[in-house]
Structure 1
Amino acid sequence: MRPPISGRTTSRSTPTTSPNSSVPVRLIALYQAPADPEAFDRHYHEVHTPIVLRYPKLRQLIVGNVEPMGPRSVPYYLATQMIFDTREDLDAAMASEAGIESGRDLRNFADAGVTLYVADDASTSVVRPDQVGGG
């Protein structure tokens, strides 16, 4: 079992929306298990993360190890979330110099592959246990 990554949540400010914008949006990256985990970690944290932190209008970067909850293995090694105020901000970040550079940098360490998803808070539900079934 790998030790958890500590101190890997980076926040510029709390995600917010203004009356003239849409809802916060997340770019989720799921990195497959690399052939050389130590080299992956070194490159991700020393090279790739500083590039990502240059994305314009990035509100928060959340990085965490992925481990199975049961006996089955998981295909992923690392999960990240990049949070932006709007889809337009995300699109602008991807088209920026840092966005292009980070895309090119993937081939330098993500040899096993990475899967990207976009999720917006309008399509996300948050349910507290005390709100369900008399809890």
Structure 2
Amino acid sequence: MAHVVVMYKTPKDTAAFDKYYFETHVPIAKKIPGLRKYEVSRGPVATPAGPSGFHLIATLYFDNLAAVQAGFGSAEGKAAAADVQKFATGGADMILFDTREV
């Protein structure tokens, strides 16, 4: 299973971020071909030492990294990536990785 983790830094207006993210961005992102599951953090994003600089963490699941590349290379994937600039005023970091059970 491959994962895409998007870590959204705290935006200028958290209420506006949340409204746009859930009403507009999520429906766009859910159309990415090959997407198997989409999860988001609930409540504050913290560290063992206390608060973090992140507002929301999204985890998207795909069968493998080839499926991630194909999904984000599609028109739907490109639309989702381009949409991030419209609401992520604090910035966002994205990481991609494949997993194996140990």
Which of 72, 78, 99 pairs up with 2:50? 72
Distance 1:69 1:104 in 2: 29
RMSD: 1.5
Query: When the two structures are superposed, what TM-score results if normalisation uses the length of structure 2?
Result: 0.90
Which of 75, 87, 91 pairs up with 2:65? 87
For CA contacts below 8 A with separation 6 or more, give which structure has more relative contact order. Answer: 2
Distance 1:68 1:109 in 2: 22
Runs of 4+ in 1 over 4 A off after TM superposition: none
Q: Which amino acid aligns with 1:64?
A: S
**Residues 20-39 of structure 1: matches in 2 within 5 Å?**
24-39=1-16
Count of residue correspondences: 101
Question: Higher helix proportion, which one?
Answer: 2
The answer for unaligned runs of 5 or more in structure 2 is none
The percent of aligned pairs where both chains have the same amino acid is 26
Shift of the alpha carbon at 1:107? 1.1
Rg (Cα) greater in structure: 1
The answer for unaligned runs of 5 or more in structure 1 is 1-23, 126-135
Question: Higher strand proportion, which one?
Answer: 2
- Give the secondary-structure state (helix, strand or coil) at the position aligned to 2:95: strand
* CA shift in 2, pair 1:71/1:109, >3 Å: same
Preserved contact between residue 65 and residue 97 of structure 2 (Cα < 8 Å): no
